[in-house]
Amino acid sequence: VGSKPEYRITKHNEEIAKFVVGTEDLLFSDLKKQWHTVVVFDNTSLKIVKREVDKGTKVHIVGTLYTYKEEKQYISRHISEI
């Protein structure tokens, strides 16, 4: 985990947690690191995140990967969320 989890309440009064995880892939002897945003909204999983997850924690994530493109001031970046 690359950052402390952030917690907030949605407009539908549901609590969510967001944090960043890094993945490493050794491809042709080059280490490639990518960062992904994890969004947690399940109550049981939120309790675990609050109790167990902090910056530097190793986690095992199971979920769906969403990728989208964002543009701000003529700068494009690709975002991946789990």
- pLDDT tens string 25-63: 777 667 788 888 888 988 899 999 999 999 999 998 888
Neighbours of 60 (CB within 10 A): 4
Q: What are phi and psi of 73, to 5 degrees?
A: 50, 50
The three-class DSSP label of residue 43 is helix
The span from the CA of 30 to the CA of 67, in Å, is 23
Q: Hey, what amino acid is at 44?
A: T
- Quick check: pTM over 0.85? no
The span from the CA of 28 to the CA of 26, in Å, is 7
